[in-house]
């Protein structure tokens, strides 16, 4: 079974609008971490936001927020006030145990921001 | 500062060449990683070094040989590669301990094997 599922291969959003990128995960480990990365065409993987399984609040980092629904095993990324520079590939990833080195990546969602 | 530096940015090599990819970080991280990423796919983990010791080798062919000379440097030595090894090679680093253990990535080396 896939550890991380991203069902949206591509998404379009109008500049200045908000967009939600979906991510569901599968684990039986009670302690895990969820990450979102952005990968522009240049190739660098840029860390955006982290959510721990025991965190009570949804994570936020500037225009990025994570809609964490533990019972549904979903960790959707919300980008507010989209900018042209947000056009990129977005990967959701999971680490299953504290300090574990393996990251399980989803297949990614390509976001295109339309002027 | 969350910078991981990779050199070279681009590399073209023949199947009989020997080349090396380099990765450097100065964040005091004690875990370093090599990933391979094919076009339109997620990164695939190749190797993990923890405190300069190889801790994970994801069944990578022996034509890829990692080396961790010290806590800041990570090399990937390439020899007798195949055209299917053409990909983006990403290096990352993270703290060894802690709940977050965020991996910070470099910009990658785009490798073409002719």
Q: Which of B89, B99, B102 to mutate to test the interface with A (most CBs of A within 10 A)?
A: B99
Cα separation, A38 vs A89, in Å, equals 6
Residue B39 has pLDDT above 70, yes or no: yes
Structure confidence at residue A101 (pLDDT): 77
Give residue-wise pLDDT tens across range A34-64: 999 999 999 999 999 999 999 999 999 999 9
Contacts with A42 (C-beta within 8 Å, 6 or more apart), sequence order = B107
Structure confidence at residue A79 (pLDDT): 98
| Closest chain A residue to B44, measured at CA | A105
Distance of CA A74 to the CA centre of its chain: 10
User: Considering only CA atoms, which of A103, A95, A111, A92 is closest in space to residue A6?
Assistant: A92
Asked whether the beta carbons of residue A101 and residue B41 sit closer than 8 angstroms, the reply is no
Give residue-wise pLDDT tens across range A7-34: 999 999 999 999 999 999 999 989 899 9
For B67-109, the three-class secondary structure string (H helix, E strand, C coil) is EEEECCEEEEEEECCCHHHCEEEEEEEECCCCCCCCCEECCCE
Structure confidence at residue B101 (pLDDT): 84
CB atoms under 10 Å from CB of B68, counted, come to 18
Residue B58 has pLDDT above 80, yes or no: yes
| Closest chain A residue to B89, measured at CA | A43
**B6 CB near a chain A CB, below 8 Å?**
no
Q: How many helices (H) and strands (E) does chain B have?
A: 0, 11
**B39 CB near a chain A CB, below 8 Å?**
no
Q: Where are the beta strands (DSSP E) in A53-108?
A: 60-61, 64-69, 74-79, 88-95, 104-105
Structure confidence at residue A99 (pLDDT): 63
Structure confidence at residue B1 (pLDDT): 57
Residue B97 has pLDDT above 80, yes or no: no
Structure confidence at residue B99 (pLDDT): 66
Residue B41 has pLDDT above 90, yes or no: yes
Give residue-wise pLDDT tens across range A57-114: 999 999 999 999 999 999 999 999 999 999 999 999 999 876 677 889 999 999 999 9
The encoded tokens of residue A34 equal: 């969820």
Task: Work out the average pLDDT over B83-106.
Answer: 89
Distance of CA B29 to the CA centre of its chain: 15
The CB-side HSE value for B113 (13 A sphere, CA atoms) comes to: 18
Give residue-wise pLDDT tens across range B11-32: 999 988 899 999 999 999 999 9
């Amino acid at each position: 079974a896939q550890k991380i599922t991203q069902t949206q291969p591509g998404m379009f959003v109008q500049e200045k609008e908000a967009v939600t990128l979906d991510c569901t995960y599968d684990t039986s480990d009670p302690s895990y971490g969820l990450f979102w990365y952005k990968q522009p065409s240049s190739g660098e993987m840029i860390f955006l936001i982290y959510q721990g399984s025991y965190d009570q609040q949804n994570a936020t980092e500037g225009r990025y927020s994570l809609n964490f629904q533990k019972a549904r095993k979903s960790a959707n990324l919300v980008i507010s006030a989209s900018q042209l520079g947000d056009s990129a590939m977005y990967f959701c990833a999971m680490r299953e145990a504290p300090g574990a080195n393996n990251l399980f990546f989803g297949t990614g969602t390509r976001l295109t921001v339309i002027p | 500062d969350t910078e991981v530096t990779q050199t070279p940015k681009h590399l073209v090599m023949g199947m009989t060449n020997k080349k090396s990819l380099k990765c450097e970080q100065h964040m005091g991280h004690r875990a370093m990683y090599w990933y391979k990423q094919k076009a339109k796919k997620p990164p695939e983990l190749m190797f993990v070094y923890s405190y300069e010791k190889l801790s994970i080798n994801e069944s990578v062919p022996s034509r890829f040989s990692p080396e961790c000379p010290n806590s800041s440097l990570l090399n990937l030595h390439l020899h007798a590669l195949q055209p299917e090894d053409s990909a983006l090679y990403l290096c990352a680093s993270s703290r060894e301990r802690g709940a977050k253990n965020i991996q910070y990535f470099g910009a990658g080396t785009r490798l073409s094997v002719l």
